[in-house]
Amino acid sequence: MNKAIKIFIPNETSANSVGAQYIYEVISKLINKNNVEIIRNSTWGAFWLEPYIEIEKEGIRRGVSYRNIDLSDLTTIEDFLIDFNEREPFDIQSIDFIKKQKRLVFSRIGHHDPLDIQCYKNTKGYKPLLNSLKIGPQETINAIKKSGLTGRGGAAFPTGIKMQTVFDQDSSIKYLACNADEGDGGTFSDRLVMESDPFSLIEGMTIAAYAVGASKGYIYLRSEYPLAKTFLLKAIEIAVENNFLGKNIQNSGFDFNIDLRIGAGSYVCGEETAMMESIEGRRGLVRSKPPLPAISGLFKKPTLINNVVTLATIPMLLDSDEDEFSKIGSNKSVGTMPFQLSGNIKHSGLIETRFDISLEELVRDFGSGTKSGNPIHAIQIGGPLGIYLSSSMLNTSLTIEALQELKGSIGHGGIIVFDNTVDMADQAKFAMEFCVKESCGKCTPCRIGSVRGVEIIDRLQKNKTSVNDAKLLNDLCETMESTSLCAMGGMTPNPIRSIIEFFPNELIQK
Amino acid sequence: MTLLKEKNYGTPKIESKNNVTGFIDGIEVSVPEGTSIMRAASTIGIDVPSLCASDNLDAFGSCRLCIVDFEGRKGFGYPSACTSPLDNGMKVITRNNHLDALRKDLLEMYTSDHPLDCNTCSSDGDCDLQVEANNHQLLENNQLKLSKYSDANSSNHLGIDIDSSNPYFNFDPEKCIVCSRCVRACNEVQGTFALSLDDRGFESKIKPGVSDNFFESECVSCGACVQACPTGSLIEKSIVEKGVPDETVLTTCAYCGVGCSFKAEVKNNDVVRMVPHKDGKANKGHSCIKGRFAWGYAKHQDRIIKPMIRKNIKDQWKEVEWEDAIQFTAKQFKNIQDEYGKNSIGGITSARTTNEEAYIVQKLIRTAFENNNVDTCARVCHSPTGYGLKQTFGTSAGTQHFDSVQSCDVIMIIGANPTVGHPVFASQMKKRIRQGAKLIVVDPRKTDIVESPHIKADFHLPILPGSNVPLINAFSHVAVHEDLIDHDYIKNRCEEAAFNDWIEFIKDDSNSPEAAEKPTGVSADIIRKAARQYASGKRSAIYYGLGVTEHSQGSTMVMGMANLAMATGNVGYIGAGVNPLRGQNNVQGSCDMGSFPHELPGYRPITDDKARAIFEKKWNVSIQKEPGLRSVNMFDAAVGGEFKGIYIQGEDFVQSEPNTQHIEEAFQSMECVVIQDLFLTETARFAHVFLPATSFLEKNGTFTNAERRINRVRPVMKPLTGKHEWEITQEIAAAMGYEMTFNSSEEILDEIAELTPTFTGVSFKKLDEVGSLQWPCNEAAPDGTPIMHVDEFVRGKGQFMITDYVPTTETANRKFPLLLTTGRNLVQYNVGTQTRRTHNNLWSNEDVLEIHPVDASTRGINDGSLVLLRSRKGETTLKAIVTEKIPAGVVYTTFHNPETGANVVTTENSDWATNCPEYKVTAVEIEPAEHRSKWQKNRVNEKNQIREIINT
C-alpha cells in the first residue's frame, strides 16, 4: 500500500475555509498514476500557512502554503509536482512556530490522517487505556491527581479531585459528559482535538469513564462544528469496530458507549449545568449549585464533566513511561496550555507551551506582531468574558495565577490581538451585547442588566464625561458580578472593568 | 377574618432523619438536613427578600433578591438563600449595606421594565414586587419610582396585548417579571406542562405551549399559575372587575371527593375569588378549574330562591311563602301515608349537602315518616364498594389518605379517570409517577394518565366493558402461581379457611390470563406482565372508580381487588391500600350519616337491636326494624303503584338514573314529588313542590371527602333563600308531627358525635382548632385515623371471597354490536347542574360520542357529524368524534347534558348485591343521523314551558 508519493492535504475547518477542500478536489481529479496517493491529514495548527500542502517522497516530507493560489492551469499531476517544488517547500517541524512549542497534547496533529487508528496506535495510542485497565480505577484517578492537571475549559478545577468525587458516589448509574461547546470567539483547541486527533479524546473519555464508573458518555458538541461532528462519528465507529468502545472493552468487562449530542446555537450551553439541561432535552437554562454535577448531574446521576482538551490530555498521564506533562509548571499552572492566537496577528494558530510564557513572547515570537503592521493596542485573554491587557502589559506571564492577580483568567486559552485602530468603547459595549445575545434569561442581573449595560455604554460613547453614567456602569458591574447566577453575567463586567482600568479615558473620561 | 395571606417559606419542606444547626443573623436555628437557608430563616421570622421563590415549588434561583453572605464564603458572587442548604455551623448574614444596595439595584432593574403606577393596577395591594419595592424605598405615593436604569430609549415590554382568552383569568405580559413561577407551578404542582418560556435572555416570554393564547393551549385552567404569579401579570378576571378582596372565609369545595380546602376571598359580602388554602390536608394549596373558578352558579340567573308548588305537574309553578310550602308538603305526605301505608313515601339525602343536612333528612324519614325508605346517590356509584369492602375488610371507606400515594411503588388505576374526576389528587399521583413509581391503567379508554407529559403507563390494559372480574381473577391467579403472595401477611391477618377456599378457586385454569383473553380482549402476556408488576411491588396501591362499581358484578370486582391486595400483603400501611375514589364532595359523609335503607349512622345495621335502641332513646321514637326501600326499589314500587311520595334533597334522578324511560314513568306515577335543589332540574319537571336549597357558599357544616376527612364548610353569605336546608327539613318534620330542636347545624354535628362511635371526637370546635379530621375520631384515635386496617382489619381478620365470573347479560349482539361505556370530562361535573351554569361551557357544552375509526368507517360516520345512538331502551343523537382512544367495538360518551340525555339508552341491569346500575355496559348501535331524535325535539319545546313561573 505504500505509495511512492504521498500528498498531504489537510481536512480541517480553518484549512478548508481558505481552500484546502477545493485543492483536494482539484488534485484528486489529476491523479492518474498508481504511485501517488492523497492523505487527508489534519492541520498543523499554523493557520497562516493554510492551506499547507505537503508531499512525502522517499521518506522526506516537505510542505508549502497554497494560500490564494490559482490551480486552474494545472492539467496533470506532474504539473502540480513541479509547481510544488518551485515554491521551495520546507519541513514545518523545523520552523520556529512549531519547533518552539511544547506539543504534548497536540503532538499528533498534522502528522497523519486523524482517522487512521493504526497511526494512532503507532504513536502510543491506546497503550494508556490498556495501562489504566490494568491498574484499576482508583490508581487511574491517583495518577491524574498526581499529575496536577486542572481543567482546560476555563475554571481550572483540579481534575483528579473532581474524578474522585464522582468515583466516591454510591450509584449504579454514572455519566461522563464532554463539554465540546467551545463558544469563545477566537478559540479552537477543542475543535482541533476533535478534527485532528479524535481518538485522543475518545481514549481520554474511556479512561475517565472507567476510572469513575460511568457506563455512558455524552459529547455535547456545538452545532457550529459540523466537520468535528463528522470526524467524531467516524472515530467512534472505528473505535467500536476495534473494541476500544462498546461492550467489554479489550476484554476488561468494562462497557462504555459515547453518544453525540449537538447544540443549537447557545453560548451559555457551554456552562456545565446549562449543558446538562440541553442534553436532557430542556431549554438551556443554568441550574443552581449545589448540587454539584459530580453528585447529582445528568438525569440526577453523578456526572463527570470535563472539557475536550482536559480529556484529551488524560491518556498522556496514564502512559507507563515518564510523564513529561507534570514536570512543567507549578501550582494550578501545571503542564502545557494550548494557547489559541488570533485576531490582528501575522501568525495565528495553536501554540502549545508552558503556562509561564510571557504575552510578549507569544505575540512577538510566535505571532510575529500584528497583521496590519500597526502597533498592538489591546489583547483580550480568555474569551469574550476575559480582560483586555494594554500594550504596556506585554510582560504579563500567562499563568492562571498571574491572570487572577489582574482580576482576569486564562480561561480556555484564547488570545485575541487588536491594533491601534480598535475602539475600546465599542469593545466594552461588545461585552454587554454579547451578554444580551447569549444570556439564558433566568437571572435578573444578566437578563435585564446586560440590556441596560448596552444602553449605558451607548450614552457614554456620546458623552464620555457623564459622571452619572460612569457611576451607573459601576453599579451595574457590581450587581452583575455579585449577584449573577453564573459566570455569563458574573464575568461580563470583567472586560469592561479592565478597559476602564487599563485604557483610561477610552471609555470613561474623568 | 381579615384577608388571610399564608406564610411563604420560600422552598418546600424537607423530611430528614438528621438535623443541622446554623446561625442566621446571629440567631441559632435547627432544621432538617437539606432545608434551604431561606426556609430556615423563615421559620425564625427572618423573611429574606424574594420574588421567584414559593414553598410549593422547587428552588429556582432566578430573581437573585435572596442573596446572602456567610462566614468563609469564597468567590465574587453571593449565593441565593433559596438554593443553598443550611450547613452545620454556618453563619449566615441576610442583611448588610452591600446586600441591601445590591437588592435595591436588582429591583431597579425590574422596575426599569415594568409599569410604574400601582394605583391603576388591578393587583394593587396583592403584588410581591410592590412589597419588595416598598421595602427598598422604591415606592412613593403608591407608585414605583422611575428606575435609575430607565431612560427615554430603554428597551422594555410595555404595551404588549393582554391575553384574555381564558374566561377566568388574564395574562398581561407587561407585568411579567420572568420569575417562571407559573411555568414551574404548571410543571411541578399540576403536572400538565402547558406553559413554557419562548426565546431567551431579555426576549424571554411566557408562552402557553405552541398556541398563541391560554384558551387554545393545553392549559386545564387549574389556576395554579395565577396563584403563583407574584405580580398582576396572571390575574383573575374577577379581581380586575371587583377589586382586591379584604376578607377570608375558610371553606371546602362542593364539587368532587377530593374536598379541596379553599379561602373564599370576599369583598362586600361578595365572593371575589376562591383560592386554594395551603393548609388544606387534601389539596395542599392546589385546585382544579371547577373549585377554583366555576362557583358562579351560586348566583346564576337560573337560581330559584323562592319556594314553589303546583297541584299538577302539567301546571305552571306558583311561588309561595315557606310556611305554605312546608305545610303543603307535610299534608300531602300524611295523606299519602293514610291512603297507601307507612311505606309509601321516602326520601333521598344528597351527597352534595353537608353531613348535618344529610343526617337530618335520614332522621326525618326514620322519625316523621316512620320508615327506613332512605337512600343516597352512592347507590348508583359506590354502593358495591360499600358491600365489597365490608365483606372483605369490615368497612367500606377508603383505606388511605391522599398523601399515601407519595409512598407508592406501583399504582394501579382501574376504572377511574383521575385527571378529570379528581384532578388535584391526580396531580399528586402524577408527581409520584414522575419520581419513578410504576403505573398500570386498566380502562377500555386511553385516558390522559396513560400518556401525558413525563408520564407513560408501564401497562395500559384496554379491557372490554364488562370484563373486570376475569381480569382481576387473572391477576390473582398469576400472583398465586408465581408465588408472589405474602404468606406471612396472610397467615397473620386473614382468615385461614376462607383463604384456603379462595386458593383452590383462584388457581384453577378458568381464572388464568389465557382464559381472560377472550372476555377482556387483552393478551395473556400483557395481563401476566402487569400482574407481576403489581404483585412484586413493595408498596402497591389500587385506585378505582365507577369503572369498577357500575357493573352487574360491581361488588364482585371490589371483592376481587380486595382479595388481590390481601394476597399480596398490600393493605394497612402507607403506599398501599384499596382506594375507592369517591366522587361527590360529600358522598362519603352522606353514607356515614346512615342514608341507607339498611343502615343507621356509622354503618350499623338497622336490624341490630342494640344500635337501634341508641337512636330510639335519643330520638324518642320507635324505629322500623326492617330495612326500607333502596332508591331503585322506590322507583320500581312507584311504577307498581305502591310508592307515591318522595322528598329529594339535591339529586337529579331523571338525568342521572339509567333507563330514563323507566325513571320518568316512576316519577309520573307519584303523587307528591318534593325537590329541594338550587335549580329547576330534569327531575323538577315531575315535581309538585320545589324547595329552594343553598349553595356551599351559604352553608355552615361539614363535608367528608374520599379520605374520610371531615372538613368545615363555612358560609360566605346568608342563605339567599332565607332558610338553611336543615331548617327546611326540621320544619317539615314538625309539620308532620315530630319536633326536632336543633338551633344550629353545630348542634346537629354534636348529636351525630353523641350517637356514632366513629365520630365521637368530632365537633365544630375541634375542627376549627385542627382544620380537619379523618374518622374514626374518638377516644381510641383522638386525632383521627389516617390509614385504616393498620394492625388488623376492622372486621378482625381479612376475609377472602370467592369471585366467580358471571358475564353480564348485556352483550353485544347482531342488533346492537357495539358496547357503550360512559365517563366524565374535566370541565363539567356529573349532570352539569352547576358547571353548565358557568363559563366552563366554553370548553365543553355538549356530550360527544367517541367512536373508533374502524367502526366509524364501516358506518359512514365522519368526525364531527351527527349520529344516532340506539339501545334496546331508547335513543338519542349527538356529535361523533372519531378517535383511537377507545378500542374497536367500544363507544364512549359523557352524561353532562340533558339535551343528550345519555341515560335514555342505559339499561336496568345492576349489581347483584347493591343494585348499582350497570352504566358502564350497554349494547348499542350507531348510525349517521339527519336530525335530532323526537324526544330531543320535544324537549326543546318543553324547555321554555319549564322555565315559566307564575309569581304570586
Which residues of chain A are within 8 Å of residue B196 when distances are taken between CB atoms? 283
Which residues of chain A are within 8 Å of residue B36 when distances are taken between CB atoms? none
The whole-angstrom separation of Cα B858 and Cα B860 is 6
Are B111 and B137 in contact, with CB atoms under 8 Å apart? no
The whole-angstrom separation of Cα B547 and Cα B553 is 11
The whole-angstrom separation of Cα B58 and Cα B80 is 13
Q: Is B62's CB within 8 Å of A482's CB?
A: no
> SS3 for B485?
coil
**Cell numbers placing B492:** 397473620
Whether residue A292 lies within 8 A of chain B, CB to CB, comes out as: no
Q: Is B197's CB within 8 Å of A439's CB?
A: no
For residue B952, the model assigns a pLDDT of: 41
Secondary structure of B608-650 in HEC code, one letter for each residue: CHHHHHHHHHHHCCCCCCCCCCCHHHHHHHHHCCCCCEEEEEC
Residue of A267, A434, A451, A458 to mutate, interface with B, max B Cβ within 10 Å: A451
Determine the residue of chain B that is closest to A476 in CA distance.
B105
Single-letter amino acid, residue A82: I
For residue B369, the model assigns a pLDDT of: 97
Chain A (479-508) residues lying within 8 Å, Cβ to Cβ, of chain B:
479, 481-485, 490
Residues in chain A: 510
> SS3 for B455?
strand
Selecting from A443, A459, A490 the residue whose C-beta is nearest the C-beta of B62 gives A443
Q: Is B105's CB within 8 Å of A479's CB?
A: yes
- Sequence-distant (≥ 6) Cβ neighbours of residue B241 within 8 angstroms: none
Q: Is B201's CB within 8 Å of A447's CB?
A: yes
The whole-angstrom separation of Cα B739 and Cα B485 is 56
Question: E strands of B751-808, at which residues?
Answer: 772-774
**Cell numbers placing B43:** 421559620
**Cell numbers placing B358:** 344529610
Distance from CA of A473 to the nearest CA of B (A): 10
Determine the residue of chain B that is closest to A434 in CA distance.
B201
Whether residue A43 lies within 8 A of chain B, CB to CB, comes out as: no
Are B256 and B420 in contact, with CB atoms under 8 Å apart? no
Q: Is A439's CB within 8 Å of B201's CB?
A: yes
- Sequence-distant (≥ 6) Cβ neighbours of residue B726 within 8 angstroms: B354, B356, B357, B360, B701, B742, B745, B748
- For chain B, the farthest-separated pair of C-alpha atoms sits apart, in whole angstroms, at 93
Determine the residue of chain A that is closest to B60 in CA distance.
A288
Whether residue B110 lies within 8 A of chain A, CB to CB, comes out as: yes
Q: How many CB pairs under 8 A join A and B?
A: 109
- Which stretches of chain A drop beneath a pLDDT of 50? none
> What are the Cα distances from residue A174, in Å, to A139, A179, A216, A259, B36?
19, 16, 7, 14, 26
Please, what sign has the CA dihedral across residues A280, A286, A290, A295?
Answer: positive
Which residues of chain B are within 8 Å of residue A449 when distances are taken between CB atoms? 109
- Sequence-distant (≥ 6) Cβ neighbours of residue B123 within 8 angstroms: B130, B175, B231, B232, B235, B239, B244
Distance from CA of B107 to the nearest CA of A (A): 9
Determine the residue of chain A that is closest to B106 in CA distance.
A445
Q: Is B80's CB within 8 Å of A288's CB?
A: yes
Q: Is B84's CB within 8 Å of A459's CB?
A: no
Over its C-alpha atoms, chain A yields an Rg (Å, rounded) of 24
Residue of B109, B132, B206 to mutate, interface with A, max A Cβ within 10 Å: B109
Q: Which residues of B848-859 are buried (b: 16+ CB within 10 A; e: fewer)?
A: bbbbbeebbeee
Note the helical H segments in A93-158: 96-99, 117-122, 127-135, 137-147
Determine the residue of chain A that is closest to B111 in CA distance.
A448
> What are the Cα distances from residue A332, in Å, to A184, A336, A398, A400, A410?
22, 11, 12, 7, 11
For residue A327, the model assigns a pLDDT of: 87
Q: Is A481's CB within 8 Å of B78's CB?
A: no
**Cell numbers placing A415:** 488570545
Q: In sequence order, what DSSP letters do the residues of B143-194 get, joined into one string?
A: EEPPPTT--TT----TTPPPB--SSSEEE-GGG-----HHHHIIIIII----
Q: Is A290's CB within 8 Å of B112's CB?
A: no
Residue of B97, B105, B148 to mutate, interface with A, max A Cβ within 10 Å: B105
**Cell numbers placing A452:** 441596560
Task: Please name every residue paired with B236 in a beta bridge, in sequence order, or none if there are none.
Answer: B169
Distance from CA of A154 to the nearest CA of B (A): 15
Whether residue B85 lies within 8 A of chain A, CB to CB, comes out as: yes
The whole-angstrom separation of Cα B510 and Cα B643 is 44
Are B679 and B833 in contact, with CB atoms under 8 Å apart? yes
**Number of H-type helices and E-type strands within chain A:** 21, 15
Determine the residue of chain A that is closest to B180 in CA distance.
A442
Whether residue B180 lies within 8 A of chain A, CB to CB, comes out as: yes
- Sequence-distant (≥ 6) Cβ neighbours of residue B469 within 8 angstroms: B553, B556, B557, B560, B803, B804, B805, B806
Are A66 and A51 in contact, with CB atoms under 8 Å apart? yes
Distance from CA of B69 to the nearest CA of A (A): 11
Distance from CA of B177 to the nearest CA of A (A): 9
Are B69 and B23 in contact, with CB atoms under 8 Å apart? no
**Cell numbers placing A194:** 476533535
Which residues of chain A are within 8 Å of residue B180 when distances are taken between CB atoms? 442
Q: What is the enclosing helix (H) or strand (E) of B822?
A: strand B818-823
User: ipTM of this model?
Assistant: 0.94
Whether residue A478 lies within 8 A of chain B, CB to CB, comes out as: yes
A414-419 and A216-221 as β-strands: parallel, antiparallel, unpaired? unpaired
Q: What is the enclosing helix (H) or strand (E) of A307?
A: strand A303-307
Q: Left, alpha or beta for B577 (phi > 0: left; psi -120 to 50: alpha)?
A: left
> What are the Cα distances from residue B409, in Å, to B284, B540, B564, B622?
22, 6, 16, 51
- Which stretches of chain B drop beneath a pLDDT of 70? 944-952
Single-letter amino acid, residue B904: V
Which residues of chain A are within 8 Å of residue B102 when distances are taken between CB atoms? 478-479, 482-483
- Sequence-distant (≥ 6) Cβ neighbours of residue B578 within 8 angstroms: B389, B393, B399, B541, B542, B544, B558, B561, B562, B565, B570, B571
The whole-angstrom separation of Cα B883 and Cα B486 is 42
Determine the residue of chain A that is closest to B435 in CA distance.
A300
Neighbour count for residue B161 (Cβ, 10 Å): 10
Whether residue B479 lies within 8 A of chain A, CB to CB, comes out as: no
Q: Is A485's CB within 8 Å of B59's CB?
A: no
Q: Is A220 exposed, middle or buried (0-12, 13-18, 19+ CB in 10 A)?
A: buried
Determine the residue of chain A that is closest to B150 in CA distance.
A452
> What are the Cα distances from residue B851, in Å, to A367, B844, B860, B869?
75, 18, 12, 11
The whole-angstrom separation of Cα A455 and Cα A92 is 49
The whole-angstrom separation of Cα A104 and Cα B173 is 55
For residue A275, the model assigns a pLDDT of: 98
Q: Is B40 exposed, middle or buried (0-12, 13-18, 19+ CB in 10 A)?
A: buried
Q: Is B64's CB within 8 Å of A288's CB?
A: no
Neighbour count for residue B807 (Cβ, 10 Å): 14
Are B214 and B166 in contact, with CB atoms under 8 Å apart? yes
Selecting from B61, B112, B199 the residue whose C-beta is nearest the C-beta of A452 gives B112
CA triplet A474, A480, A481: central angle to 5 degrees?
Answer: 90
Which residues of chain A are within 8 Å of residue B149 when distances are taken between CB atoms? 448, 452, 455, 472, 476
Selecting from B85, B110, B196 the residue whose C-beta is nearest the C-beta of A444 gives B110
Distance from CA of B109 to the nearest CA of A (A): 6
